[in-house]
């Protein structure tokens, strides 16, 4: 069926103009000419949103979102509570029920709005998933050329062997210019991001033009579909060593998931979203969506180089005060400028990386890494996890981050996100934890908990572990040194974690965190406090009721 006939049949769109599967050069010019909306709180809805730099079409597109949507609008993200899926979905504050009747009325109003205006819509056909055994055709339909270009960057354009593509196809209708009315439409505000599992539709209506919505909404869909097939969907990075050994790294923002997986000695499968089937690990995407704030260009040369590459998208990085964007080289941009948001972003194709795995696929993982960045400075730099311990720490999804600095004071904050990506996990956490445990046991994968945070004291009083030491621990874990027959372990008295007593190239003193504190009584108090946070989070989320055993 032709795409326009399919859209009329599926959505009722019939009085609109389509620009179908344009190339990135065309989308670049279309975005600058036509993408209009609000970029300042008190500004008009007709402002230009996309710009060229001094490199023109040979460089990046710079895009500015609505100021109220510089990240995922989690409080406005819903799924339609159809009876056939309501009991399977993990309902929570950032993934709430949407009334089916209200949803159907809203969808009709959005389509009527587009038909009445004779809207121009950009259509991009891509796939979610590089492996044909689960890959889903994904059709983006929206008002902004920038979003179509983002979909082109971030997803495979062709996946051979996908059977019955039309039946499997998901469609996103993305209409930032529409305004929801909560009393009428059942939304929380004037915007809504709604997943309709029955009809395979993602509806984005209102001020939700953050590019990540195009990516994370379909990731939430895939997190529902893959477990139903017996496959594990994962918020992780992955790479392959010179011996063909695959590793996956789970971690929240700031823990090193992207940095540590970008290793010149290992081929990159992907940096964010993957599936694990009976064939091995594969990327759900074909691009990267990296944070730019405070980018260290020496430590992150791949991202730095991609800033100047053709067909990439820079999101919410402010222009220089003394120079218009049209005269600015991308390398001149101030990547420490937080005046718009802390969450400045950059979208670029996977091929911008110099060492990418063929077809973005790898074998079954030999090593599973759970990353945390403990700003309290009390967790061991590395711990060995088995079975029920893996499930426990996986559903906790812990890291600790800095709340910010005011008058020289930093205060660590605990952050727990189940399965290292709770907002996107549409099934209950135990579904993913049990699949991970089963696959780990079946393929005899080893697992480490790697702490990339602080040592010798909390953030603000001690230093973060050096990347050199973290790399040494990771490399030892990937080689299997930490699981070798001759390795001796110490059990942490508070966290009950098994800590290796040695690691090649490292002073063994740093492997037991209590030894690195000058005041060991202060360490005991801080560690006990964090262990209470773990227990409180476990109880609050009712993980025991999901069949997860408390190991702390």
Q: Is 98 helix (H, G, I), strand (E, B) or coil?
A: strand
Which candidate in 253, 308, 410, 502 is catalytic? 253
Mean pLDDT in residue range 210-223? 98
Which helix (H) or strand (E) covers residue 86, if one does?
helix 83-86
Model pTM score = 0.93
Are the beta carbons of 177 and 37 closer than 8 angstroms? yes
Q: Write out the two tokens for 515.
A: 């030894």
**CA atoms within a 13 Å half-sphere pointing along the CA-CB vector of 175:** 25
- The pLDDT tens digits of the residues spanning 445-456 come to 999 999 999 999
Question: What is the pLDDT, as a whole number, of residue 497?
Answer: 97
Average pLDDT, the chain: 94
- Check the CA dihedral 480-483-488-494 and report its sign: positive
Which candidate in 152, 191, 257, 267 is catalytic? 257
Question: What is the pLDDT, as a whole number, of residue 339?
Answer: 96
- The pLDDT tens digits of the residues spanning 477-495 come to 999 999 999 999 999 999 9
Whether 215 is a known active-site residue: answer: no
DSSP code at position 107: H
Q: Of the ranges 34-43, 403-412, 511-520, which one carries the lowest mean pLDDT score?
A: 403-412
Question: What is the pLDDT, as a whole number, of residue 256?
Answer: 87
Which candidate in 72, 215, 267, 439 is catalytic? 72
Residue 107: pLDDT band (50, 70, 90) is very high
Whether 253 is a known active-site residue: answer: yes
Residue 404 has pLDDT above 50, yes or no: no
Residue 406 has pLDDT above 80, yes or no: no
Q: How much of the chain exceeds pLDDT 90, in percent?
A: 89
Are the beta carbons of 214 and 174 closer than 8 angstroms? yes
Residue 409 has pLDDT above 70, yes or no: no
b/e for 187-209, b at 16 or more Cβ within 10 A? bbbbbbbbbbbeebbbbbbbbbb
Biggest CA pair distance of the chain: 73
b/e for 410-442, b at 16 or more Cβ within 10 A? eebebbbbbbbbbbbbbbbbbbbbbbbbebbee
Residue 407 has pLDDT above 70, yes or no: no
Which candidate in 147, 169, 266, 345 is catalytic? 345
Mean pLDDT in residue range 294-319? 92
Cβ atoms < 10 Å from Cβ of 377:
28
- The pLDDT tens digits of the residues spanning 65-97 come to 999 999 999 999 999 999 999 999 999 999 999
Which candidate in 139, 147, 216, 364 is catalytic? 216
Cβ atoms < 10 Å from Cβ of 547:
11
Distances (CA, A) of 188 to 39, 67, 86, 145: 22, 18, 20, 27
Residue 52 phi, psi (nearest 5): -95, 160
Whether 66 is a known active-site residue: answer: no
Residue 372: pLDDT band (50, 70, 90) is very high
Question: What is the pLDDT, as a whole number, of residue 445?
Answer: 97
**CA atoms within a 13 Å half-sphere pointing along the CA-CB vector of 315:** 27
Question: What is the pLDDT, as a whole number, of residue 402?
Answer: 66
Whether 216 is a known active-site residue: answer: yes
Question: What is the pLDDT, as a whole number, of residue 408?
Answer: 43
Whether 257 is a known active-site residue: answer: yes
Q: Write out the two tokens for 306.
A: 């991609």
Distances (CA, A) of 139 to 48, 127, 364: 25, 8, 30
Domains and CATH numbers, the chain: 3-36+76-228 (3.40.449.10), 232-286+358-546 (3.90.228.20)
Q: Is 33 helix (H, G, I), strand (E, B) or coil?
A: helix
């Amino acid at each position: 069926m032709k795409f326009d006939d399919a859209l009329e049949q599926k959505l009722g769109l019939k009085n609109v103009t389509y620009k179908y599967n344009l190339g990135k050069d065309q989308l670049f010019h279309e975005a600058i000419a036509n993408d209009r909306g609000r970029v300042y709180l008190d500004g008009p809805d007709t402002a230009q949103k996309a710009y060229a730099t001094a490199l023109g079409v040979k460089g990046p597109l710079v895009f500015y979102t609505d100021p109220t949507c510089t990240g995922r609008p989690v409080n406005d993200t819903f799924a339609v509570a159809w009876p056939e899926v309501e009991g399977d979905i993990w309902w929570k504050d950032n993934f709430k029920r949407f009334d089916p009747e209200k949803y159907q009325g809203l969808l009709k109003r959005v389509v009527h709005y587009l038909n009445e205006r004779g809207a121009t819509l950009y259509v991009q056909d891509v796939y979610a998933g590089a492996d044909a055994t689960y890959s889903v055709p994904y059709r983006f339909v929206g008002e902004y050329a920038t979003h179509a270009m983002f979909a082109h960057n971030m997803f495979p354009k062709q996946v051979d062997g996908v059977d019955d593509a039309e039946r499997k196809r998901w469609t996103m209708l993305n209409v930032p210019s529409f305004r929801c009315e909560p009393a009428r439409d059942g939304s929380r505000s004037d915007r809504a991001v709604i997943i309709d599992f029955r009809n395979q539709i993602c509806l984005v209506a209102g001020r939700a033009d953050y590019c990540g919505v195009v990516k994370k909404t379909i990731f939430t869909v895939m997190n529902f579909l893959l477990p139903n097939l017996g496959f594990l969907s994962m918020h992780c990075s992955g790479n392959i060593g010179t011996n063909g050994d695959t590793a996956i790294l789970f971690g929240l923002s700031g823990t090193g998931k992207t940095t540590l997986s970008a290793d010149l000695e290992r081929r990159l499968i992907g940096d964010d979203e993957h599936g694990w089937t009976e064939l091995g690990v594969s990327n759900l995407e074909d691009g990267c969506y990296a944070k730019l704030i405070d980018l260290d260009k020496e430590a992150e040369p791949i991202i730095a180089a991609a800033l100047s590459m053709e067909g990439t998208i820079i999101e919410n990085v402010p222009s220089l005060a003394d120079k218009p964007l049209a005269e600015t080289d991308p390398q001149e941009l101030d990547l420490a400028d937080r005046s718009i948001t802390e969450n400045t972003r950059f979208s670029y194709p996977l091929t911008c990386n110099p060492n990418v795995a063929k077809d973005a696929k790898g074998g079954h993982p030999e090593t599973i890494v759970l990353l945390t960045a403990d700003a309290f400075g009390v967790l061991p730099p590395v711990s060995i996890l088995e079975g029920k311990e893996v499930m426990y720490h996986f559903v906790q999804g812990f890291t600790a981050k800095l709340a910010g600095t005011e008058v020289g004071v930093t205060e660590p904050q605990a952050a727990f996100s189940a399965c290292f990506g709770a907002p996107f996990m549409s099934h209950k956490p135990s579904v993913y934890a049990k699949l991970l445990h089963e696959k780990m046991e079946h393929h005899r994968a080893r697992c480490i908990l790697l702490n990339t945070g602080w040592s010798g004291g909390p953030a603000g009083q001690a230093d973060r572990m050096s990347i050199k030491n973290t790399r040494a621990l990771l490399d030892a874990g990937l080689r299997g040194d930490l699981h070798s027959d001759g390795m001796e372990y110490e059990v942490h008295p508070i966290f009950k974690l098994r800590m290796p007593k040695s690691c090649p190239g490292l002073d063994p003193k740093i492997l037991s965190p209590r030894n690195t504190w000058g005041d060991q009584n202060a360490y005991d108090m801080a560690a006990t406090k964090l262990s209470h946070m773990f227990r409180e989070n476990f109880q609050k989320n009712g993980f025991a009721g999901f069949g997860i055993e408390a190991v702390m």
